[in-house]
Amino acid sequence: MKSITPKLLSILLFTVFLFSCSQEDDGIYFNESSETINTTVTYSEIETEILTLVNEYRESKGLSSLITLNIISGVADGHTNYMITTGQVNHDNFNLRAQNLIDNAAAKSVSENVAYGYSTAQGVVNGWLNSDEHRKAIEDPKNTHFGISTESNSAGRNYFTQIFIQK
């Protein structure tokens, strides 16, 4: 059996790298729905607890509490249901959610945290706080409002989307 030459190996690795990278927005939007703008949101116990824990954490760091905004939770709910449908935790179509909140909630900036599999509010918040990128979204001093969505798939596994905005 012949061995692969370094030049051929380099070309092969470059080709794999080139075609395995994806753009931030691949233009595939599936069926992630935009939520109704003036939606009435009913928060579950775990959602209320997550919102409370995030605000308590922010206050412990000398940051202002965030105001819950139903439109943000409505947009978050659309994404949570999308993740359940696809069976993957992701940030797909974030640009669409951000633009929706810029257009309809007067957001100046938008960030989000997603997660799945946690069974408690404390568990998911701890998971986010133990991740540098997720913690940055929670600790961003420019954020003024937030929303949350938690839904379970048919197997009972929880999916979470928390979105933060600056107004």
**pLDDT computed for residue 156 by the predictor:** 96
Half-sphere exposure of 159 (CA within 13 A, CB side): 21
Tell me the C-alpha to C-alpha distance, in Å, between residue 143 and each of 87, 116, 119.
Answer: 29, 23, 26
Residues 137, 138, 142, 144: is their CA dihedral positive or negative?
positive
DSSP state of 87: T
Neighbours of 159 (CB within 10 A): 23
Mean of per-residue pLDDT scores for the chain: 84
State yes or no: pLDDT of 107 exceeds 80. yes
CATH superfamily of 63-166: CAP (3.40.33.10)
Q: What is the pLDDT of residues 95-105, one digit of tens each?
A: 999 999 999 99
pLDDT for 18 beyond 60? no
SS3 call for 127 = helix
**What is the predicted pLDDT for the residue at 41?**
87
* 103 vs 26 pLDDT, higher one: 103
First to last CA, the chain: 64
Residue 156 has phi, psi (to 5 degrees) of: 85, 10
pLDDT number for residue 39: 67
Segment 20-30 mean pLDDT: 38
Percent of the chain with pLDDT strictly greater than 70: 77
Taking residues 49-74, report their average pLDDT: 98
Flag whether pLDDT at 119 surpasses 90.
yes
